[in-house]
Amino acid sequence: AQSVTQLGSHVSVSEGALVLLRCNYSSSVPPYLFWYVQYPNQGLQLLLKYTSAATLVKGINGFEAEFKKSETSFHLTKPSAHMSDAAEYFCAVTNRDDNIFFGQGTRLHILP
């Protein structure tokens, strides 16, 4: 069985500060991991994905995530937050032979 846990349903950071959104996964086989972003009244957009290549994955809008097998983590980071980053972020896991499973989401608030 696979699952993801996102720590913190709401995260607030100041504009220009580091963004860190936490995701831990559970999978009995090597996982494929994703981060999606959802802006208000829109569907989910793929930010980045890990598919067993480089453990540090760079995505769109300056985001990146690092796959750490020993910690079963795939945290999302961005060095400097921008007001336009305010959105809900979802971590997801799959092993390609199964469906994709989403975390509960983390809403990111950017403080001026």
Partner 1 sequence: DAGITQSPRHKVTETGTPVTLRCHQTENHRYMYWYRQDPGHGLRLIHYSYGVKDTDKGEVSDGYSVSRSKTEDFLLTLESATSSQTSVYFCAISDPNSDGYTFGSGTRLTVV
Among 60, 34, 69, residue whose Cα is nearest residue 49: 34
Q: Is 103 in the site for partner 1 (CB under 8 A)?
A: yes
Query: Which residues face 32 on adjacent strands?
Result: 94
Q: How far from each other are the two terminal CA atoms of the chain, in whole angstroms?
A: 41
Among 74, 72, 70, 66, residue whose Cα is nearest residue 91: 74
Q: Is 105 in the site for partner 1 (CB under 8 A)?
A: yes
Q: Is 22 in the site for partner 1 (CB under 8 A)?
A: no
Q: Which is nearer to partner 1, 41 or 84 (CB)?
A: 41
- The per-residue b/e assignment along 16-25, b for 16 or more CB within 10 angstroms, e otherwise, is eeebebbbbb
Contact region for partner 1 (CB under 8 A) — 17-25, 37-45, 54-62, 69-77?
Answer: 37-45
Among 2, 21, 25, 32, binds partner 1 (CB under 8 A): 32
Binding site for partner 1 (CB under 8 A): 9, 32, 34, 36, 41-46, 49, 51, 90, 96, 99-100, 102-105
